[in-house]
Amino acid sequence: MKYRHVIWIVVLVLVVDQALKFWIKTHMNFNQEFIIFPNWFRIHFTENPGMAYGLELGGEWGKVLLTLFRLVAVVVGFKYMSTLVKQRHHTGLLICGALILAGAAGNLIDSMFYGLIFSETSFYDVATFMPKGGGYAGFLHGKVVDMLYFPVYRGYLPTWIPFKGGDYFVFFNPIFNIADAAISVGVITILVFQKRFFHKHNEKQPTEKEPVAVTK
């Protein structure tokens, strides 16, 4: 697998991720929801200033530090992927690495620029792209757009379950985006197939050839 293939995977994921986020921002109110498939697949618009799946790192400085960390991670990630390609690592590992890199870059774009290029979204108003009065936040302070919601199960837990018995429970509750999904798929796949990915690479490592005796 060549480095340009890694770049194409990253670009493809970024295009899909950003296109969906752009549509959500310019067509939906905050907390608006569309039911795509009854009961368990919905488009639910929300935003978060923090990490994947709605997790947050508190305060303004926490937001800035998280965005800078993402930026450093993406830059280092591209260089590391180049090294992995040169070392001829397993194709599966390279694809997973590209997915993780694309996901990190997708959320980084939100954090860096969305506050500058969009107006504030509310329960009543849809955001405007490139508003005349400027965006809702400064550089590095944008919110990450989330929309994929899969409440596969909604109901009350059986009373015999310790601590949570009888409580209302939703599975799967987090709302996420394409970038989050790409990161999760990449990480989980590496964890599941790590022996195959790294074992085959070790087998491919070149060994020194013994000199061949020349006979006359």
Q: Is 146 a residue of the active site?
A: yes
Range of the domain at 117: 3-149+176-204
Average pLDDT, the chain: 88
Residue 57's pLDDT is what? 57
Residue-wise pLDDT for 169-207, tens only, equals 888 889 999 999 999 999 999 999 999 998 766 665 655
The count of structural domains within the chain is: 1
Active-site residue, from 17, 125, 146, 167: 146
Residue 38's pLDDT is what? 82
What tokens appear for 179 in the block? Answer: 């970038």
Q: Is residue 9 part of a domain?
A: yes
Residue-wise pLDDT for 30-76, tens only, equals 999 999 988 789 999 999 876 555 555 555 666 778 888 889 999 99
Q: What percent of the chain is predicted at pLDDT more than 90?
A: 63
What's the rounded Cα separation, in Å, for the pair 198 and 30?
Answer: 44
What tokens appear for 65 in the block? Answer: 């530090």
Cβ-based neighbour number of residue 99 at 10 Å: 24
pLDDT band at 14 (very low <50, low <70, confident <90, very high): very high
Q: Is residue 216 part of a domain?
A: no
This prediction's pTM: 0.84
What tokens appear for 105 in the block? Answer: 């870059």
Residue 52's pLDDT is what? 54
Q: Is residue 171 part of a domain?
A: no
Contact 199, 102 (CB under 8 A): no
Q: Is residue 142 part of a domain?
A: yes
Active-site residue, from 17, 125, 167, 180: 180
What's the rounded Cα separation, in Å, for the pair 107 and 115?
Answer: 13
Q: What does the pLDDT average to over 156-181?
A: 89
Q: Is residue 109 part of a domain?
A: yes
Q: Is residue 154 part of a domain?
A: no
Q: Is residue 144 part of a domain?
A: yes
Residue 27's pLDDT is what? 96
Q: Is residue 211 part of a domain?
A: no
Residue 161's pLDDT is what? 87
What distance lies between CA 55 and its chain's CA centroid?
Answer: 13
Q: What does the pLDDT average to over 139-158?
A: 91
